[in-house]
Structure 1
Amino acid sequence: MLKKGLPSPYIMLVLAPLFWATSNVTGKLGKGWLTPYEMTFFRWFLATLILSFFARKFIRQDWAQLKQHWLWLFVVGGSGFALFNIILYSAFSLGASVVNVSIITALIPFGVICFSAFIYKDQPHILQWLGIAIAFMGVIWVLTQGQPWVLAQYNFAIGDALALVTTGIYIAYSLALRHAPKIHWASMMWAMSLAGLVVAAPFYAYDLAHNGLHFPDWRGWLMLLYIAVFISIISKLFYMESVIQIGANRAALAMNFLPVFGAVMGVLFFKDEVMSINHLIALGLVVIGIVCSEYGAALKRRPLPERAGAY
C-alpha cells in the first residue's frame, strides 16, 4: 500500500541499504578527488538545491510547521546528515578498515532496540531479539569470511572509535524520528538537508583555509550528483519514512543488509572482489533474522482473543 506516494516501507528498507552500499563504490572510484569536508558539503549543497526546486510547493505549504520545529530539524538533520558523514569519512582517512566499520555499523539495530526498551519502555517480542541476533550473525559471517572467531584478533584504533561515534549518531537519529513533525516528506527532507549543509559549511570553510579552493572535475561532479540524488535524498527518505511508519526497532534491522549488499557491490564493480558461499550464507541468515523479527513484531501487535464469558 502506498503512503504519501511512496512504496511500502518493506520495499524502502531494502532499497535504502542498497543505495547506501553504493556509497562504498563511489568512495573507491572517487578516491583522491574530494576531501571528506568537500564530499559532505557538496552533497548536501546539491541535495538542498534539488529539493528547493522540486519541493517548493510543499515547503510553502509546511512553512509554518517548519518554523515551529526548526530546532528539531536542525539538530536531527545536522547530526544525522552532516556530522555522520564528516566523522565517517574522517574515520576512513585515519585508517579505519571497512571490515571494522561494517561490524560497528551492524551494532545499530542492537542499539536502537536496546535504547527503545530503556528510554521508551518498549517491550520487544522475544522473536525480535532472536531475529536481531540471527541477522547480526549473518553480518559477522560475511565480514569474517565464515570465521567469526577471528573477531578477537581485531585491534580498534582511533578511526574505529570515530566509526563508533557515527553508530551512536545514527542510533540517536533513528530514535529521534519517532518525534518527527507531521509534514510532507519533501519539505522535511529539504529542511534536514539544509541543516546538513549549514553544519557542513564551517568544516568546508576550515578545509578551504588550509587546502585552498578546489573544484572536482566532471567525474567528481557526476559522482556527487549521484550521491546527492540517490544516497543523500532517496535512501535517507526511504529510511526516514520507514522509521516513521513502522518504528525504529523494526526499521533499524535493515541496516544488517548493508555489509552484505556492500560485498555484492564489490563483486559487481571491481575485478578483485569475488562472490563466495559465505556471502550466500550471510544473506540467508540476514533474511531469516528479518523474517523472524517481523513475525515477532506481528505477534506483539496482534490483539489477544477475548475469552468466552469474560467480563
Structure 2
Amino acid sequence: MKTSPKASIFLVLATLFWSGNFVVGQAAVTSMTPVELTFWRWAFAALPLLALAQIVDRPDWRAVLRYWPTLLLLSFLGMGGYTLLLYTALLHTSALNASLITAANPALIVVLAAVVLGDRPGVLGWGGIGLGLSGVLLVLTGGDFQRLLRFSFNLGELLMLGAVAVWSFYTIIARRLPVPAISATAVQVAMATVVLAPVAVATGAQLPGTAAGSWSLAYIAVFPSLGAYLLWNLALKTTAPGTAGNYLNLMVVFTAVITVLLGAAISLPQILGGLLVVGGVMLTSARPSGRSPGIKPGKERGLKWMGER
C-alpha cells in the first residue's frame, strides 16, 4: 500500500507532536508533579477523544465495552504506567536521552513478540535488535562502558527503560484487540482519568500555577493527546501500519532538533547512539512482505494505536 502525500504529512506531524511531548513534558514537570501532569493530561483529553471516536469510528459502544477488562489493563499500562514513568524520568534525564531510549521500543517489541506470540524475526530483525540495544547502551553510559560494570546509570534513564518495557507489553496486548483504534484509545483515556482521580485528590493535585505550566499542559493535552492521535489514525486509513511505524524514527530527529533550537548541547555518544538506534529500527522494520513483523493478515488493524504517546 503506497503512502499518499497527505498521509505522509499527517504521519510527520503526529511524530512531531509526540516529540514535543518529551521537551514540553520536561518543562512541565518543573511546576507540576508527574501525577498531576498525567491526570490533567488525560482529564482534558477524555471527552474530546470520546467525541472524536464517535465522529471518526462510529463504534458500537456496547460491543467496545465487552472488552473492558483488556481495555482497563491497557489503560493501566499505556495511559497510567508509561506516562507516569516518562514524566518522572524527565525529572532526572534530558528529553533527548528519553527519546533515544524510547526509540529502542520497536526492537523490544520484536523480542516480546518472539517470546509471547512465537513470532520469530529474521536475520535482519535480530541484527536490528543488536544495533538498537548497542545504541541504547551508548546513550546510557555516555560512552563510558565501565558504567556497565559499576551499574552506574542515571535514575531517569532507568525509569525510561521501565517505560519502554511497559509500552512494549501494551503494544503486544493491543495487537489482538478487535476494537477501532480511536475508540479504544478514548475508552482507555476515560478509564485512566477515573482511576487516577482518587490518587489526584489524595495527593492534592492542582492545576499549574504559572503561565508557563498552563501553556505546557495545554500543549500536551491538545497536540500529543488529541492532534497526534487524529492525524495518526487518519493516515492509517490509507497507510499500512508497518509503513507508518517507520515514521516513528523521526521522533529522535525532531527531539534532537528541538533540543538544539532551545540551546542545549548534544554529545557525541548521543549522536552515535541515536544513529545506531535508528539504524536498528530500520533493520528491524525491513520486511519483504510489507507487513509488520509477526502480524498475520487480518490482524493489522489492532496496531493502529501502537505508536501513540
TM-score, normalised by the number of residues in structure 2: 0.72
What does 1:102-117 correspond to in 2, within 5 Å? 105-117=102-114
- 1:201-242 Cα distance to aligned partner (Å, 9 max, x none): 12211221xxx7555444333222211222223445639x97
Q: Which has the larger displacement, 292-301 or 58-67?
A: 292-301
Residue 195 of structure 2 corresponds to: 199
Residue 7 of structure 2 corresponds to: 7
Structure 1 residue 121: Cα displacement: 1.1
Pairing 1:132–2:129 present = yes
Structure 1 residue 116: Cα displacement: 0.8
1:71 to 65, 69, 89: 69
Report the Cα distance in structure 2 between the residues aligned to 1:26 and 1:151, rounded to whole angstroms.
Answer: 29
Contact between 1:140 and 1:148, CA under 8 Å: does it hold in 2?
no
Structure 1 residue 77: Cα displacement: 2.1
Contact between 2:49 and 2:186, CA under 8 Å: does it hold in 1?
yes
TM-score, normalised by the number of residues in structure 1: 0.72
- 1:99-141 Cα distance to aligned partner (Å, 9 max, x none): 8756754553332111211121112111122123334444555
Residue 305 of structure 1 corresponds to: none
Which secondary structure does the structure 2 equivalent of 1:179 belong to?
A: coil
Pairing 1:293–2:284 present = yes
- 1:162-205 Cα distance to aligned partner (Å, 9 max, x none): 4443222111111012112232x332221121122123212211
Report the Cα distance in structure 2 between the residues aligned to 1:154 and 1:97, rounded to whole angstroms.
Answer: 19
Residue 307 of structure 1 corresponds to: none
Report the Cα distance in structure 2 between the residues aligned to 1:46 and 1:287, rounded to whole angstroms.
Answer: 33
Q: 1:236 to 1:78 in 2, by over 3 A?
A: farther
Contact between 2:25 and 2:90, CA under 8 Å: does it hold in 1?
no
Contact between 2:97 and 2:270, CA under 8 Å: does it hold in 1?
no
- In the alignment of these two chains, the number of paired residues is 286
1:23 to 10, 18, 21: 21
1:166 to 148, 163, 171: 163
2:265 to 274, 288, 291: 274
Structure of greater Rg: 1
Which secondary structure does the structure 1 equivalent of 2:286 belong to?
A: helix
Give the counterpart letter for 2:176 in structure 1: H
Residue 189 of structure 1 corresponds to: 185
Q: Which has the higher helix share?
A: 1
Contact between 2:28 and 2:37, CA under 8 Å: does it hold in 1?
no
Report the Cα distance in structure 2 between the residues aligned to 1:215 and 1:58, rounded to whole angstroms.
Answer: 32
Residue 215 of structure 2 corresponds to: 222
Contact between 1:103 and 1:143, CA under 8 Å: does it hold in 2?
no
Which secondary structure does the structure 1 equivalent of 2:284 belong to?
A: helix
RMSD: 4.0
Structure 1 residue 25: Cα displacement: 1.8
Q: Which has the larger displacement, 136-145 or 258-267?
A: 136-145
Residue 177 of structure 1 corresponds to: 174
Contact between 1:108 and 1:167, CA under 8 Å: does it hold in 2?
yes
Q: Which has the larger displacement, 291-300 or 113-122?
A: 291-300
Contact between 2:15 and 2:251, CA under 8 Å: does it hold in 1?
yes
Q: 1:109 to 1:121 in 2, by over 3 A?
A: same
Report the Cα distance in structure 2 between the residues aligned to 1:37 and 1:50, rounded to whole angstroms.
Answer: 21
